[in-house]
Chains A and B, each alone.
Chain A
């Protein structure tokens, strides 16, 4: 599995933007079999049960999520022995229109040093007109109550899935996202699988490039919507990076966390 682990720069990108995209993740022949299986794959399984025990075996979708490259991705982000949370074959039928749909999944979630991942698999070529899922990168630290953000119809930095079949996006479940109109005659599927970690998400990725000088710049990414909030976003990213990388004193640039942590008087009082 080691060869399929994310490197530190990719992890930093996930921390900053809340998602990663991998084209050619699933081989074409398996993609078609998965697409054929999606309409009948079934509903919720046992929420919170071990993925390996719960996820079907010897089916196209069962096999797809057990590919070494997918296992490496999962391990990098949430570690060994993940739990199955839920899955869904999201369908936007041909000519089905969608209005504003921005939302944050599930319920508001304030857990620190923790995130679930969602794997989004597009089994066929997904063009702009087919209405691939949209994401607003970097919004994973902004807690809101599910669909109340529907009033953010448009945001600077918004992206959406346009990709060849076999592409997989992995994203922090708190990223703001939604469905889009399908202007073609072809039904559009996005198969998602949400997973939980079972242990601290610390150094589960390839840390051989942990000191890469590109990492501060990656963490500092500006997606276009942050404006005056950018340094507050950065503080949350650095906090999560400290945790994931096992570097409790890590900071970058002007060291905004130090600006609120440094206090020599505190030690004297204690």
Chain B
């Protein structure tokens, strides 16, 4: 079977690749095209993006620092930073 791209997104509150992961998502195309049953995970697959890199994940995107203005410097919204990582895995039959 061919290898296809899996993605994990690690969300952080600082952009550094060694900052703590506080939320995460898996888009594992090797397993299927949608998540039918989200199984709860008590802890992230990696504590930092650096740990994921040590496990063969390749960084596709890391975040830039944000410039803060008086009008929105205290506003809260989505989690501010994310690292997108990719790894190729063998294609499986979609369940």
Contact = CB atoms under 8 A, between A and B. Distances in A.
A57 interface: no
Interface string B22-47: 11111000000011111011011000
Interface stretch (A59-67, A186-194, A196-204, A232-240): A232-240
Interface string A131-175: 000000000011110001101111110101000000000000000
B39 to A, nearest CB: 8
A99 B32 CA distance: 13
Nearest to A157: B22
A226 B13 contact: yes
A227 to B, nearest CB: 3
Contacts of A152: 11, 23, 25, 79
Contacts of B37: 97-99, 181
B14 interface: yes
Contact of B9 (A141, A151, A235): A151
Interface residues of A, number: 32
Contacts of A97: 36-37
Looking at chain B, what size class is its interface with the partner chain? 20 to 34
B40 to A, nearest CB: 7
B36 A99 contact: yes
Contacts, number: 81
A229 B80 contact: yes
B7 to A, nearest CB: 11
Nearest to B45: A154
B1 interface: no
Given A227-B20, A228-B13, A153 B76 contact: no
Interface of B: 9, 11-14, 19-20, 22-26, 34-38, 40-41, 43-44, 74-80
Given A99-B35, A99-B38, A154-B44, 20 more contacts: A97-B36, A98-B37, A100-B38, A141-B76, A142-B78, A144-B78, A153-B24, A153-B38, A154-B25, A154-B41, A155-B22, A156-B22, A160-B40, A181-B37, A181-B38, A225-B22, A227-B13, A228-B19, A229-B76, A235-B74
